[in-house]
Chain A
Amino acid sequence: MTTRDPIALLERYGRQLLVEGVEPARQVALGDWCLAVATDGSDVARLAADVALRYAVGAGIGRYCLADAALADSNPEDLDPAVERIGGADPSAAGLARPPVAHLYFARRRYGASVDLLLTEHDDGWEQGAGHDAVVSTVVLELGDPQDGAQAGPEDAPGLGTLAARLLVCHLLGLEPLPAVLHLRWPDDDADPEVHVRAPSESGAEVADLADGAAPPGLLAELQRTPAALDAILAHASADYPNEACGFVVRDADGSLRAVPTRNLQDRYHAIDPETYPRTSRTAFKLDERVIVREEEAGHPLQIIFHTHCEAGAYFSAEDARAAAPGGEPIFPDAGHLVLSVMGGVVRALALFRFDAVSGRFVPELGGGPLPR
């Protein structure tokens, strides 16, 4: 098995992270979920868990928790400490409903690495020991080939994390997993629920077809390479908390990105017409569009529109989609929509969505996910 740069692998597989068919109702339903990710503390597992979280956030999962401490075993009961840690940020303390929780557990195992995909749907399992009577299924994904004993290493973790999160998200959405990116092989001789996943480098044409090129050019990647713009957005996001912050990013004449934080006018509209504008700035934003017009007239084209979700995930909500594409037609078809999740005043995650003309939907660009704490 060849050694690869994990980040290059992440980007390579990241191009396949789009989940098709997520209409608004399902997107909202996905946003209701909480994902608890735990690892055994090994490098492989941690990297896979990180990738899985990035995928899940990009796909629109509402909340997430990555267990800090290593867990010894993949026994479902051992996930309770992770759940308990989520309890530390228990949304019910903030007067919010407790979300249903799904679990992912990553561990280094027989063939180098594995993930136990515990689809554990329960509403009240926050307390230790409760809720595990509703395990839907456990799928063990193993990297490496049990026939020849090939070992997988950290370089395979991105593929593993991607696949695990994709299976989970598809399940939560009630969708069949898309055709496997990695090569899946079910044992012929029994009904064992194990699914063997061959290592990406061995898995044939469907992966090889995805060229090992550079990272796809993306607005989010460019923004992340422009610290002045990104920092301005993050500062504005925190400053306006607990209200939604908003603004946009233009391209200056020298080709660089520049962030333009703006006021959230939502409360002003809510005050004069609460029927048309039932939400306040706590859960909605309305940007001062004239600022964009002025920038565009000055020759600075709009690139990204950004806004925050307070105490909610970095997903593109049904309301966001309605506003960005009334009647299904995007107002700014070429602009990216950056959504930042702000928890307790701190930006925890971000994701950038682009309108996909083929599917008619807003889909996440590669590179979103939780921010380092």
Chain B
Amino acid sequence: MSIRIKIPTPLRKFTANKDVVEVEGSNVGEALRALDAAHPGMWAKICDDNGKVRRFINVYAGDDDIRFLEGMATPVDAKTEISIIPAIAGGC
């Protein structure tokens, strides 16, 4: 099933400047692995060594951060757009 993944500007150097990449997969983890296969380096930018989304990156499936869904196992279909969005955060 073809899934659209929106790529943020800072990571487009890995995707030949494409802002949207279409991959196959039935959940977020599969889609991101497929993204990494097509554009090597993306997985490591998004996830740490334990496969957890990095603190300063957000992965959205539709309208929700996958941290509040089922993480990498969050199911996706052709109607679900995955968005990778750099976190905007900080603290005193």
Contact = CB atoms under 8 A, between A and B. Distances in A.
Nearest to A264: B89
A185 interface: no
20 contacts: A244-B91, A248-B88, A276-B52, A279-B91, A289-B58, A289-B85, A289-B86, A290-B60, A290-B85, A312-B92, A317-B91, A319-B90, A319-B91, A320-B91, A322-B90, A324-B88, A326-B56, A326-B86, A331-B56, A337-B90
A287 B88 contact: yes
A287 B86 CA distance: 11
B86 A331 contact: yes
B18 interface: no
A323 B92 contact: no
B90 A272 contact: no
A328 to B, nearest CB: 12
Contacts of B10: 329, 331
Contacts of A322: 56, 90
A334 to B, nearest CB: 11
A284 interface: yes
A317 B90 contact: yes
Contacts of A307: 90
Interface residues of A, number: 35
> Mostly helix, strand, loop or mixed at chain A's interface?
mixed
A284 B91 contact: yes
B87 A323 contact: yes
A287 B83 contact: no
Given A290-B60, A323-B56, 15 more contacts: A246-B88, A269-B67, A276-B52, A286-B88, A287-B89, A289-B58, A289-B87, A289-B88, A293-B85, A305-B88, A312-B92, A319-B92, A324-B90, A331-B86, A331-B88
Contacts of B86: 289, 326, 331
A39 interface: no
A179 to B, nearest CB: 32
A209 interface: no
Contacts of A114: none
Contacts of A287: 88-89
**For chain B, what secondary structure do more than half of its interface residues adopt (helix, strand, loop), or is it mixed?**
mixed
Most chain B Cβ neighbours within 10 Å, of A273, A286, A287, A317: A286
A266 interface: yes
A285 interface: yes
Contact of B68 (A272, A290, A317): A272
A323 B67 contact: no
A7 to B, nearest CB: 30
Given A293-B83, A331-B10, A276 B55 contact: yes
A244 B92 contact: yes
B87 A286 contact: yes
A284 B90 CA distance: 6
Interface in A242-275: 244, 246, 248, 266, 268-269, 272-273
B82 to A, nearest CB: 13
Nearest 7 A-B pairs (CB), nearest first?
A284-B91, A320-B90, A309-B92, A287-B88, A312-B92, A323-B89, A319-B91
Contacts of A309: 92
A138 interface: no
A307 B89 CA distance: 9
A289 B10 CA distance: 14
Contacts of A268: 68
